Chain A
Amino acid sequence: MAIQTQGLRKEYGNKVAVRNLALCVPRGSIFGFLGPNGAGKSTSIKMLLGLVSPTSGEAFVLGKPAGDVETRRKIGFLPEHFRFYDWLTPAELLRLHGRLCGMPAARLRERIPEMLDLVGLTPHKDKRIRAFSKGMMQRIGLAQALIHEPEIVFLDEPTSGLDPMGRRLVRDVIRTQNKWGATVFLNSHLLSEVEITCDNVAFLKDGEVVASKELRAMGTEEEVHVTAHVRNLSDEAISALAPWATGASLEGEYLTASARSGDGLPEILRHLVRSGADVYSFTAEKASLEDLFMRIMGEDRGL
């Protein structure tokens, strides 16, 4: 396991930031950590990185207790509220972070131009960071997190403040790192980004993991929304959909239902036709991560 926690808890005075965090992140996976504001995501990441001490519980990163100094050599981190020494140029900042990671000077000389190129900052390499836009800051932050070729990368809101090109770049970088075998721990509010990037997700609510999903399996095995344009559909035929779908209801000529899995779709269509209904259209959409998120968190939870 890349990350394993048990009963991890953090209290700040009377406030419980993280209640009972139990996580298992497999090595080599892209893991999405989701939850509304104040759910305890950043505190959890800080505990995994050793920036914050847990009140109780255990956390292991790459098999060593969280915060272990030597293990940090294999960890990259892009903080949510990234602030760097803005009086440096991007190349100088990367050199500083590389040196702090113990990288030899010769390797750094090769690696710095590579990283600047990767995040698209080569044309700005001589500018001071204080002149950078938020998106450029995010890019240099990503480069400093990856300069030492870490085995696990923690990215706290890596796409906030980025334009669509920047988001795509982050997505590509995440995939490339993952292809090389790195584990990526992604904390993001942009569920569509998470959906297309991550292998697994965990939903955090009030400091606890309330659900976890394997996103790659969200195909035929996951719930699917069905909408059908039908005429002459009897109430009995609607009730008889129960073995394959839940929440079936007819409004005018439109039937909506939630199929338990993609495998049940042919059965539903067959049943409708056999019951004597005239089917004019039949559409099926798998539940998006956002639907799942809203259902788990409740509609009243703002992001």
Chain B
Amino acid sequence: MLQTGLDLTSGGLKSSVTTDVSGGSTGTFPPVGGLTVANGDLTIADSNGDAKNLEQPCTLTIVVAGGGINAAGGTASATIAGMGFAVGDTITIAKASIGNPSADAVITITAADLQSASVPEYRYIPVEDILYVVPLTTTTIRLWMKDGANAGTGSAYLVTFSNAADSVDALAAFASDSVAQAIQAENSIPTARFGGGTYPVKPITVVMD
């Protein structure tokens, strides 16, 4: 199951800013890292205005220009996609986190803002010829295929996550468990599960390379 959170294109959320800001400081917010729900920068609500908990947290970066976020030089970008958004959801950005303009900014999610517009919910991976899982980072693993005899330059699936797993070991071990489970399940198609500590993570892309 793939992650279908926010589009990670730089500036991808700019056109969805439905309440722009005026006054306050200009610049990139935050200067380092990202705006998060956990830090009190963001509040997520559904289309009815009710508070909404995401399955996986997102992270945003906002650039406020002289005329606001929607003005020339301003941008709104997701840097970690999150999971659990729907069209009509709103992301309210606390004014204190973006240079203290006169009011909070609001982004209203449209279909174009979601990866589900271009990413299928599921990606099917044949597991029969997977040799083993290669741990790379807390956000990437590789599934080596058996035709990799050419000194490690054979085919492999590169699986990339937007949200980081708790550790490299945990991500690789969960992936290995999922592959083993799938190989053992001849008459069913199990859904791979990754991570399990802070929250389960879902891959954002699976590509053969």
A binds B: no
Q: Give residues in B with beta carbon < 8 Å to A.
A: none
